[in-house]
Amino acid sequence: MRIASRFRGLLAGFAVLAASAGLAAAQDYPTRPITMIVPFAAGGPTDVIARIVSENMSKTLGQTIVIENVVGAGGTTGATRAMRAAPDGYTIIMGHMGTHAASVALYPNLAYKPDADFEPIGLVAGTPILILAKKDFPAKDLKEFVAYVKANADKLNLAHAGVGSVSFTTCLLLNSLLNVKPTSIPYQGTGPSMNALVAGQVDYMCDQIVNAVPQIKGGTIKAYAIGTAERNPSPPDVPTTKEAGLPEFQASAWNALFAPKGTPKPVLDKLSAALDKALNDEGVRKRLLDLGSDIPGPDRRGQAALASLVKSEIAKWSPIIKASGAAN
Ligand code: MLT
């Protein structure tokens, strides 16, 4: 009996030691560089937003944040990698409406549950969606675009960043509204697919505003409408879908930071605080706003707000995807 109780005592001692070691590690966090997984190719909207905020966050945290582009499967490859990473705060992911909401309905065997296998750190930016086409697309406005696509869908190529991506999901909504099924060309991100659109190799795309604004300003593509209730000041001349005659197309995405489930709360709190500071930094705000993104106010920031956003977005996009037939 004495041995058993001594053994139990030793075990309890080890447990206390382990807990206090974990607590000490969390309190000292971060003591080495942090990896931020971007689940799409460099140069796309997720990558651009990740680099803008991580630059500022690394100053606050006192450690380099290394961007790692882990591409494939509409962002779910990178999200799966992040979910499986050690929950120590040294691997986080810039996810979004695709990886952490739409993918649930698009991938019946998705390796992760966005609302259970991650710890929310915080919402980073809202990103309205625009209907874009190559520069010489034969339509001068959205009404002509809709008519042309309906009449020629079998000859048209649509670009996106893979099944489950924002560009895939939002154009799924557009194509189901138009009742068309063009050829869809997947890329490793909408950085590369935007290059193809600018080169005229594909015909149209639904993309996040942060990726579209530089091309609209450069006159290299056509932007027919923005899927939000109000116009956006960055491309002020792009009409809303309501103004342009397709009010049913309402589409906005968002980017947010997540950590693997089990990441200690003190570590999450340091990451959330560093993100909050970045979103209050004038330089960061100017870069994000100039690209047309929407910076969340205090009520939409933080871990609890992101946790409820993920749940509501899964609930919002799942029926849209199922109705489109893409999930069958
Ligand atoms: C998407 O979901 O379309 C991604 O945002 C594309 C990207 O960031 O490259």
**Ligand 1: which atom is nearest the Cα of residue 255?**
5
> Measured from the CB, is residue 189 less than 6 Å from ligand 1?
yes
Stronger pLDDT, 323 or 76, i.e. the higher one: 76
pLDDT tier at 9, thresholds 50, 70, 90: confident
Q: Quote the pLDDT of residue 203.
A: 98
Task: For residues 144-153, give the mean pLDDT.
Answer: 98
Percent of residues in the chain assigned helix, strand, coil, to nearest 5: 50, 20, 30
208 lines ligand 1 (CB under 6 A): yes
Measured from the Cα of 168, ligand 1's closest atom is 3
Would you identify the CATH topology of the domain 128-252? D-Maltodextrin-Binding Protein; domain 2 (3.40.190)
Using CB atoms within 10 Å of the CB of residue 153, give its burial: 0 to 12 exposed, 13 to 18 middle, 19+ buried: middle
In a mutational test of the pocket of ligand 1, which residue from 37, 167, 207, 317 has the highest number of ligand atoms less than 8 Å from its CB?
A: 167
Helices 45-61 and 282-290 meet at what angle, rounded to 10? Answer: 180
Coil, helix or strand for 143? helix
Q: Is the CB of 303 under 6 A from ligand 1?
A: no
DSSP letters for 236-275: TTSPBHHHHT-TT---EEEEEEEEETT--HHHHHHHHHHH
Q: Are 97 and 104 in contact (CB under 8 A)?
A: no
Q: Is 166 in the pocket of ligand 1 (CB under 6 A)?
A: yes
Atom from ligand 1 closest to the CA of residue 191? 9
CATH topology identical between 33-126+254-324 and 128-252: yes
Compute the mean pLDDT over every residue in the chain, rounded to the nearest whole number: 95
Reply yes or no: is the peptide bond before residue 128 cis, omega within 30 of 0.
no
| Separation of CA 166 and ligand 1 centre (Å) | 6
Q: What tens digit of pLDDT does each residue of 10-63 get?
A: 878 777 776 666 677 778 999 999 999 999 999 999 999 999 999 999 999 999
**Residue 225, H or E segment:** strand 221-226
- Sorting pLDDT into bands at 50, 70 and 90, what band is 288? very high
Q: For ligand 1, is residue 44 a contact (CB within 6 Å)? A: yes
Which is more confident, 3 or 64?
64
Fold of 33-126+254-324: D-Maltodextrin-Binding Protein; domain 2 (3.40.190)
pLDDT at 326: 79
* Helix or strand holding residue 207 (H, E): strand 204-208
The whole-angstrom separation of Cα 106 and Cα 114 is 13
Q: Which of 99, 165, 197, 291 to mutate to test the pocket of ligand 1 (most atoms within 8 A of CB)?
A: 165
Q: What is the Cα gyration radius of the chain?
A: 22
For the chain, give every domain's residue range: 33-126+254-324, 128-252
Distance 142 CA to ligand 1 centre (A): 23
Task: Name 252's Cβ contacts closer than 8 Å, sequence gap at least 6.
Answer: 126, 127, 128, 129, 227, 228, 294
Backbone angles phi, psi at 141, to 5 degrees: -150, 180
Enter the DSSP assignment of 203.
-
Rounded average pLDDT over 199-222: 98
pLDDT of amino acid 1: 60
> How many A from CA of 38 to the centre of ligand 1?
10
pLDDT per residue as tens digits for the range 239-279: 999 999 999 999 999 999 999 999 999 999 999 999 999 99
Percentage of the chain modeled with pLDDT above 90 = 90
CA separation for the pair 239, 74 (Å, rounded): 28
